[in-house]
């Protein structure tokens, strides 16, 4: 049976009205609760008036449903219709139908006029066109079928599955959804941008859910666009989602070296194919800033026109979003009654209306029990920053606050053990003992409000801030508290805690719905730079620490696996060079660290991509020529002696193009390598375009022709033979809701 629980009572009535209209070929009128005198639906057949009553009771007991039905009898005695149908989403047994029929037998021909969940399900099957007008219903049904058939994918993407299932019932299909799906349909790529909290992620998840229900395999890209490249399969319909692809609050969080090129390459590949889709989300201001730095992003956007701006919701959308959240939430009857008798007016038209705030104020972290609910709701919309400030200062112990704050210094998804180590160290520095024992308690207190606990790419527990606004609040708190900042620096157990704080200072963006201006950004960076001596000491102390960061790495014979960044030490030295430059200090201050790196290169250890970036810093630094020569020789020897994978050749070719050219015997070696690759991969090896460039540089014409043939074959992707009609019948709101309609809608919440 279809999943009616994703619908609100209003949506269930709309569905039922459409179904009865199709079944009887009649116009079915709908009436609001409270103004109908017992009528939800009314239609005429052969000159006679029939009425229907809808009861959306998926989570209630039959005794509750029967009690509610008994109240309708008195209304029917006054109306005395020619016919009556009682419709419920509750899955009724024959005996239960008989009990309801007994109540209404004077107006029903038989128990067949009592329609339960299975009867509605059968009507939907008979009238598929009606189902197409209710995308939440058919998408949720398609999802259930997909997860049931593909249990392995359901397990692998369990976190995504849970997020979609939580968000779908509250979702309102609005014009932005129609615009986004049209872009995705025509371009295969949709980039959703907009202000914080506007609903970008939820919209992306709905697009994803729709395509999963159509048979597309979902692929979640969480850290790096390489995850998408390694997950592409030639003969499978796939949809990729890359949420906050430029970072949550600043694009430094995402864009690694050359990632903009890899992203553009992927977009071009997917946009020109037929069996792949890609959905990306980002804050509008981050996209604007990133396009100033990454020319490829700006060029691609203008050329392919896949950008979608999410602007303000219509009044109808805002009302329905608020209603759906209230209807599906666990809110006291007192609070609902206050909203229903007029409290909604303070919310629907509020200038600070924001779907994220609507979700917060209807959730468990908010007071949804006591009287005064609309006023509390409005106060939150008036001053959204108070959400975190009041809870942070009044309701958290100091150790709870420190755990929330130290998350700013760790990766977006912090490993549980890494977080514990950083937390205990910061607490110790702040004079709080036994923090290790209170760690679990602190997590329990904070989860659901300031933090969320999920799983990382390895399937291990990972902790992150509940949303970017928490991060922004914490950064503002650190910037304003010098002692706290010094404690964070001196307690750092990972080098990356220090580099991350600098990046936040360089790239902080929005805070609590309003932009942190350049002055505030510089204020944070200035506060960090003022502690230069402490930072230098902490950088040296933590240089050889393990890294809290994780990367998806591919290796022949092993496949994809998650590990510390292979180039973590190269990144640390690179960061040190940048800081010394800003502080106008001599590079000799990190000569020992550079020597350590050279020693690793001589032992064939490190990250090649990061090494190529570092060698440029070493060459342009004030270090002695001897150190530079040692570094060049060590890196050349390492790259030349480890040419076993595609990426090895790419890195070696990049190095050689800048520092001396490919060796005389390299051509034959590369030709043998590619022959082995063609025999090892099916249908073709990866990164053929780059391999072609190397073959061209080496003058290997036959190999170039072979690669061209493979690229031509690869471009002929299989047609998408599974096509489901678009939800074209779902129209965006042209009619704006009136005051009377608003009163009728929210009046449902205060009715018995």
Q: What are phi and psi of 279, to 5 degrees?
A: -120, 125
Q: What is the pLDDT of residues 8-46, one digit of tens each?
A: 999 999 999 999 999 999 999 987 654 445 678 999 999
- Strand, coil or helix: 692: helix
Share of the chain above pLDDT 70, in %: 89
Q: Which two tokens stand for residue 86?
A: 């009682």
pLDDT score of 507: 59
Distance of CA 66 to the CA centre of its chain: 42
What pLDDT sits at residue 425?
97
Q: Which residues contact 526 (CB under 8 A, 6 or more apart)?
A: none
Residue-level pLDDT at 283:
80
726 occurs within a structural domain: no
The radius of gyration of the chain from alpha carbons, rounded to an integer in Å, stands at: 30
Q: Specify the DSSP element, H or E, that contains 588.
A: none
- Tally of CB atoms within 10 A around 629: 11
d(CA 300, CA 302): 5
Does some domain include residue 635? Answer: no
Are 174 and 245 within one domain?
Answer: yes
Q: How far is CA 34 from CA 14, 310, 335, in A?
A: 17, 35, 19
> C-alpha 457: how far from its chain's center?
15
Domain CATH for 77:
3.40.1350.10
- ∠ CA 512-513-515, nearest 5°, is 95
Cα separation, 413 vs 400, in Å, equals 18
The residue out of 245, 274, 309 marking a domain boundary is 309
Q: What integer pLDDT is reported at residue 117 of this predicted model? A: 93
Can you tell me whether residue 459 is helix, strand or coil?
coil
- Cis preceding-peptide flag for 515 (omega within 30 of 0): no
Strand partners, 414: 463
Residue 522 has pLDDT above 60, yes or no: yes
CA distances from 215 to 178, 220, 406, 706 (A): 20, 16, 42, 34
- What is the mean predicted confidence (pLDDT) over 226-248? 85
Q: Both 168 and 262 in a single domain? A: yes
Write phi, then psi, for 609 (nearest 5 degrees): -65, -45
Report the DSSP beta bridge partners of residue 87.
Answer: 54, 115
The predicted structure's pLDDT at residue 258: 63
CATH of the domain at 185: 3.40.50.300
**CA–CA distance, 653 with 502 (Å, rounded to integer):** 33
- Do 424 and 509 reside in the same domain of the chain? yes
The answer to whether the beta carbons of residues 193 and 283 sit under 8 Å apart is: yes
**Does 327 lie in the same domain as 262?**
no
Residue 619 domain-assigned (yes or no): no
- From the list 610, 483, 477, 590, the residue with the least C-alpha distance to 543 is 590
- Reported as a pLDDT band with limits 50, 70 and 90, residue 255 is low
Per cent of the chain over pLDDT 90 is: 52
Are 282 and 257 part of one and the same domain?
Answer: yes
Q: Distance of CA 53 to CAs 16, 33, 40, 99, Å?
A: 10, 10, 5, 16
DSSP 217-229: EEEE--S-THHHH
Residues 504, 479: Cα–Cα separation, whole Å: 10
- Is 284 inside any structural domain? yes
145 with 90, same domain? no
In a domain, 261, yes or no: yes
> What is the reported pLDDT for 512?
37
At residue 308, the pLDDT reads 66
pLDDT tens figures, 145-199: 888 888 878 777 777 888 888 889 999 988 888 888 888 998 899 998 887 778 8
Would you say residue 608 lies in a domain?
Answer: no
Question: How many degrees, rounded to 5, is the angle at CA 618 between CA 617 and CA 621?
Answer: 80
Higher pLDDT, 259 or 439: 439
Distance between CA atoms of residues 697 and 652, nearest Å: 13
- Cβ–Cβ < 8 Å for 48, 26: no
In the listed set 497, 519, 541, which residue is the last one of a domain according to the structure? 519
Regarding whether 112 and 14 lie in a shared domain, the answer is yes
The pLDDT value given to residue 728: 41
Q: Residue 84 forms beta bridges with which residues?
A: 51
- What is the rounded average pLDDT of the residues 48-65? 89
Query: Which is more confident, 467 or 70?
Result: 70
Bigger pLDDT: 565 vs 751: 565
- Per residue in 298-326, pLDDT (tens digit) is 766 665 656 666 566 888 999 999 999 99
CA dihedral 158, 163, 165, 171 (to 10 degrees): -160
Q: What is the number of domains present in the chain?
A: 5
237-251, 260-274, 645-659: range with highest mean pLDDT? 645-659
User: pLDDT per residue over 69-115, tens digit each?
Assistant: 999 999 899 999 999 999 999 999 999 999 999 999 999 999 999 99
**Per-residue model confidence (pLDDT) at position 718:** 52
Instruction: Check pLDDT > 60 for residue 721.
Output: no
The span from the CA of 387 to the CA of 402, in Å, is: 18
- In this structure, are 368 and 227 located in the same domain? no
* Cα–Cα distances in angstroms (integers) from residue 375 to residues 229, 367, 388, 577, in the given order: 50, 11, 18, 53
Final residue in a domain of this structure, among 110, 132, 154: 132
Q: What is the pTM of this model?
A: 0.70
**What backbone phi and psi angles, to 5 degrees, belong to 174?**
-125, 180
Same domain, 65 and 113: yes
Is 452 inside any structural domain?
A: yes
Q: What share of the chain is helix, strand, coil (3-state, %, to 5)?
A: 60, 10, 30
Question: Strand 514-515 relative to strand 510-511: parallel, antiparallel, unpaired?
Answer: antiparallel
* Residue 125 and residue 141 in one domain: no
**Domain-located, residue 638:** no
Do 262 and 350 fall into the same domain?
no
SS3 416: helix
Mean pLDDT across the stretch 337-357? 92
**Domain limits at 52?**
4-132
Question: Looking at the structure, do residues 96 and 168 belong to the same domain, yes or no?
Answer: no
pLDDT beyond 80 at 263: yes
């Amino acid at each position: 049976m279809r999943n009616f629980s994703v619908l609100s009572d209003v949506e269930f009535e709309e569905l039922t009205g459409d179904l009865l209209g199709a079944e009887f070929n009649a116009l079915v009128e709908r009436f609001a609760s409270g103004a109908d005198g017992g009528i939800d639906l009314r239609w005429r057949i052969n000159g006679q008036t029939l009425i229907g009553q809808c009861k959306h009771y998926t989570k209630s007991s039959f005794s509750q449903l029967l009690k509610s039905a008994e109240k309708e009898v008195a209304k029917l005695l006054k109306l005395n219709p020619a016919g009556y149908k009682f419709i419920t989403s509750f899955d009724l047994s024959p005996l239960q139908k008989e009990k309801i029929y007994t109540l209404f037998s004077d107006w029903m021909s038989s128990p067949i006029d009592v329609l339960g969940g299975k009867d509605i399900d059968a009507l939907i099957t008979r009238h598929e066109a009606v189902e197409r007008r209710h995308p939440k219903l058919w998408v949720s049904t398609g999802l259930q079928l997909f997860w049931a058939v593909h249990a392995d994918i359901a397990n692998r993407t369990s976190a995504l599955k849970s997020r979609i299932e939580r968000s779908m019932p509250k979702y309102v299909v609005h014009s932005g959804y129609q615009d986004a799906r049209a872009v995705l349909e025509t371009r295969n790529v949709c980039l959703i941008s907009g202000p914080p909290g506007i609903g970008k992620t939820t919209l992306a998840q709905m697009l994803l859910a729709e395509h999963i229900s159509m048979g597309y395999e979902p692929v979640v890209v969480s850290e790096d666009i390489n995850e998408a490249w390694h997950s592409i399969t030639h003969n499978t319909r796939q949809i990729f989602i890359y949420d906050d692809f430029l970072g949550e609050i600043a694009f430094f969080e995402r864009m690694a070296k050359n990632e903009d090129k890899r992203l553009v390459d992927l977009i071009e590949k997917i946009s020109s194919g037929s069996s792949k889709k890609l959905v990306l989300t980002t804050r509008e201001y981050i996209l604007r800033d990133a396009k100033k730095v990454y020319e490829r992003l700006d060029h691609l956007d203008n050329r392919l026109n896949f950008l979608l701006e999410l602007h303000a919701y219509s009044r109808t959308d805002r009302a329905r979003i608020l209603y759906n959240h209230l209807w599906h939430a666990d809110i006291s009857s007192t609070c609902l009654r206050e909203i229903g008798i007029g409290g909604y007016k303070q919310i629907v038209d509020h200038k600070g209306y924001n779907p994220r705030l609507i979700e917060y104020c209807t959730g468990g972290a908010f007071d949804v029990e006591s009287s005064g609910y609309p006023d509390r709701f409005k106060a939150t919309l008036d001053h959204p920053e108070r959400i975190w400030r009041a809870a942070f200062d009044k309701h958290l112990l100091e150790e709870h606050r420190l755990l929330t704050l130290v998350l700013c210094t760790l990766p977006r998804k912090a490993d549980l053990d890494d977080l514990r180590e950083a937390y205990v160290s910061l607490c110790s520095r702040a004079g709080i003992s036994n923090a290790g024992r209170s760690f679990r308690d602190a997590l329990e207190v904070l989860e659901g409000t300031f933090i969320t606990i999920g799983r990382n790419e390895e399937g291990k527990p990972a902790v992150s801030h509940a949303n970017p606004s928490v991060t922004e609040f914490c950064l503002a708190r650190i910037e304003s508290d010098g002692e706290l900042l010094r404690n964070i620096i001196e307690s750092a157990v990972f080098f990356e805690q220090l580099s991350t704080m600098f990046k936040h200072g360089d790239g902080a963006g929005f805070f609590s719905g309003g932009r942190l201006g350049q002055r505030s950004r510089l204020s944070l960076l200035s506060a960090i730079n003022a502690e230069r001596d402490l930072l230098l000491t902490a950088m040296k102390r933590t240089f050889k620490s393990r890294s809290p960061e994780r990367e998806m790495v591919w290796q022949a014979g092993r496949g994809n696996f998650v590990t510390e960044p292979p180039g973590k030490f190269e990144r640390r030295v690179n960061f040190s060079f940048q800081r010394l430059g800003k502080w106008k200090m001599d590079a000799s201050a990190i000569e020992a660290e550079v020597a350590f790196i050279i020693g690793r290169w001589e032992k064939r250890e490190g990250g090649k991509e990061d090494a190529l970036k570092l060698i440029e810093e070493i060459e342009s630094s004030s270090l002695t020529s001897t150190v530079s020569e040692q570094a060049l020789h060590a890196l050349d020897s390492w790259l030349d002696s480890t040419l076993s994978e595609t990426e090895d050749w790419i890195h070696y070719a990049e190095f050689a193009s800048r520092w001396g050219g490919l060796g005389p015997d390299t051509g034959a070696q590369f030709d043998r390598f590619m022959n082995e690759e063609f025999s090892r991969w099916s249908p073709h090896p990866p990164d053929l375009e780059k391999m072609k460039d190397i073959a061209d540089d080496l003058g290997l014409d036959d190999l170039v022709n072979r690669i061209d043939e493979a690229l031509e074959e690869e471009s002929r992707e299989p047609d998408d033979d599974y096509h489901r009609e678009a939800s074209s019948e779902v129209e965006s709101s042209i009619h704006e809701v009136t005051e009377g309609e608003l009163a009728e809608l929210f009046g449902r919440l205060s009715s018995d």
